[in-house]
Chain A
Amino acid sequence: MTPFTQHTGIVATLNRSNVDTDQIIPKQFLKSIKRTGYGPNAFFDWRYGADGSPDPDFELNHPRFKGRSILVARNNFGCGSSREHAVWALAQDGYAVIIAPWKAAGGTRLPAYADIFRSNAMKNGLLLIELAEEEVNVIFALVERYEGLEATVDLPEQKIIFLAPEHVIYGFDIEASDKAQLIGGLDDIDLTLQYESEIGRFEQQHDPFLSPPE
């Protein structure tokens, strides 16, 4: 996995909540047995018209977003199917960072990203940033105001700087272990195999049908 420390790129917005992984990469592209080749098919049904040409009405096709690498969307991004192909498609389509808001509902905090998508993103070095809804609203307004707006994401410092005249800066939270793994570009399986002897010992005393302890 490529280490992630800092990233600067153009910010694109997708004003939708509950973007499910069926939208990010539709089912017909899941027949591949490869990990590559998904980029051009990200958001396929929204992105292309019936004749196969880019649909000018789809937000992300707007010329102002050409070369974008930071995607800002609404709450519950990546819900639905567990397909890791969705993360592969986003990464291969040139996105390095996704930003979405958590949402308050009934006294609880609903996370910005669905659980399985979050885990898949981590395994592929795609940085998911969770901000407050007001902050994401400000970003949408900035992107609207400044064509070609860029931002710099600094993972070690846990902040994102929007390079607009007003220089908006937001800090973000991330699990310390996720941060270390992204910065180190570490492989999960290698990390786990350090504990191989513990796994072996566990298996010695673990009943496959799980009867009660003797």
Chain B
Amino acid sequence: MGHTLFEKIWSRHVVHELPDGSVLLYIDRHLVHEVTSPQAFEGMRLSGRNIRRPELTFSTMDHNVATTEDRLDIKDPISKAQVDALEENCNDFGVSLFGLGDPHQGIVHVIGPEMGITLPGLTIVCGDSHTSTHGAFGALAFGIGTSEVEHVLVTQTLKQHEPGTYKVEFTGRLSPHVFSKDMVLKLIGTIGTAGGAGHVFEYCGEAVRSLSMEARMSMCNMSIEGGARAGMIAPDDTTIQYITGIDRPYAPTGAALDRAIAYWRSLPTDEDAEFDRTISIDAASLVPQVTWGTNPGMVIDIDQPVPGPDAGGIYSRTDVENALEYIGLTPGTRMTDVPVDVVFIGSCTNSRIEDLRQAAAVMEGRKKADHVELLVVPGSDQVRRQAEAEGLDRIFKAAGGEWRYAGCSMCLGMNPDQLRPQQRCASTSNRNFEGRQGKGGRTHLVSPEMAAAAAVAGKFVDIRKWLDR
């Protein structure tokens, strides 16, 4: 029997099989940010241990940084202490830091791929659940807690039980104005936020093959929202073109690149490999998605009404009632009748150049509705520079939006960019949990095109009809 992409990478990274059936898994790249690492570095100091492979460890500041012009002058003393701690820890332990003001600074899951740190066939971890993003390259990438961050710093390994494999096939081709964000939201809406628990998704099928790397990253990014440990897509010409098409400082070159490509070509799942679980979704029939509730599985087609407590499906009556009360919607409401106060385009899900191009294409020559606040936050300083070179920033500014510097921004409200209570937001981010974007804030997850259109219309629209009207 053949092997899956996941199995090929897993077996190559087993350092030792432990008596209880788990393994010590070798970690090739460790990404670090300011929020989940300070206690890990402190733990090393307290126990007198040292970092094993500093050259495989890369860090940046993204979660609690401001995204405004004056971001280098951090006003919140607690945020500043955390940023200062990362700088000191990186200095003391010899870890590369792409800090505030560095041309490579940005959201950790945007800069890893950008710099060639993320490559096919690697194991990659970070103290952040959206580490699943890097699986878009055919890497095994997953989020870990702070104790595990310390474990990787000291041993460059993790103790892991082998997860199951879960094939997620998207057949057919996407319709216009339907994106990988809609594909992954549809998946989560179908299986629920625990549906993939204990498993690693492998996304495949015609609709996945035709996605760009940026779109693949958006899809793998949200694997964790479906409960999966990781999400992966087999490397192909698109992957190799992304890595080798421009200079990526940490990617292999010359003979090392040739050897690496030969390895990457060997990674795709064998035809006779078997998965523990399988789901198939018809991509051709997908329409734009919008979440109505308080987790990413509470999602509907844009042309469907908001469900009620009796709708059945994967959520209990209590779950639906709690969600509707928080989000302030009544059953039967059409989402296209729901006004928005804020539009956020950004986050590790949708802040890459292609996402910004899609949003800008909708906004070009248009203005945001007067009552809407529009925030556009590139995922990295490099994305920001490229967007400016393409004139995208001028489109957003002319539409009345704010064009910011790189960071996690309003995705998680750990920094000055937050919703106020009851504000309703069309967001390209990944979590519509209660209070996620600010206490009392109401989040609806959508694609960049849908978010941009909501900013112009002042309410949710069906992008397919709205553009053609």
Contacts and interface: CB of A to CB of B under 8 A. Distances in A.
Interface of A: 15-18, 20, 22-23, 26-28, 30-35, 45, 75-76, 79-85, 87, 103, 105-106, 108, 110-111, 114-116, 119-120, 123-124, 175-177, 188-189, 191-193, 195-196, 198-199, 202-203, 206-212
Given A35-B39, A83-B36, A209-B119, A116 B260 contact: no
A110 B197 contact: yes
A210 B439 contact: no
A201 B159 CA distance: 17
Interface residues of B, number: 83
B197 A210 contact: no
Interface in B409-437: 412-414, 431, 433-436
Contacts of A105: 191-192, 194-195, 314
B81 A33 contact: yes
A120 B197 contact: no
Contacts of A32: 78, 82
Contacts of B435: 22-23, 26, 45
Nearest to A31: B78
A84 B146 contact: yes
Contact of A120 (B19, B119, B147, B192): B147
Nearest to B19: A177
Nearest to B323: A18
B151 A80 contact: no
A196 B154 CA distance: 10
B129 A116 contact: yes
B329 interface: no
Contacts of B115: none
Contact of A189 (B15, B150, B295): B150
B260 A209 contact: yes
Interface of B: 12, 15-16, 18-20, 22, 24, 26, 28, 35-36, 38-39, 42, 47, 49, 52, 56, 63-64, 76, 78-79, 81-82, 85, 119, 121-122, 127-129, 143-148, 150-151, 154-157, 159, 161, 163, 191-195, 197-198, 224-225, 227, 229, 252, 256-257, 259-260, 262-263, 266, 277, 295, 314, 316, 318-319, 322, 412-414, 431, 433-436, 439
A57 to B, nearest CB: 12
Indicate the member of A80, A115, A124 with the most B CB atoms within 10 Å.
A115
A212 B121 CA distance: 10
Given A22-B434, A199-B157, A31 B414 contact: yes
A33 B24 contact: no
Contacts of B155: 189, 192-193, 196, 199
Nearest to B259: A211
10 contacts: A17-B316, A45-B439, A80-B129, A80-B433, A81-B128, A106-B191, A119-B145, A199-B52, A202-B16, A210-B121
Given A26-B439, A84-B36, A208-B28, A195 B15 contact: yes
A199 B15 contact: yes
A82 B129 contact: yes
A206 B197 CA distance: 30
Indicate the member of A30, A45, A111, A210 with the most B CB atoms within 10 Å.
A210
B79 A103 contact: no
B378 to A, nearest CB: 21
B431 A27 contact: no
Contact of A79 (B119, B128, B194): B194
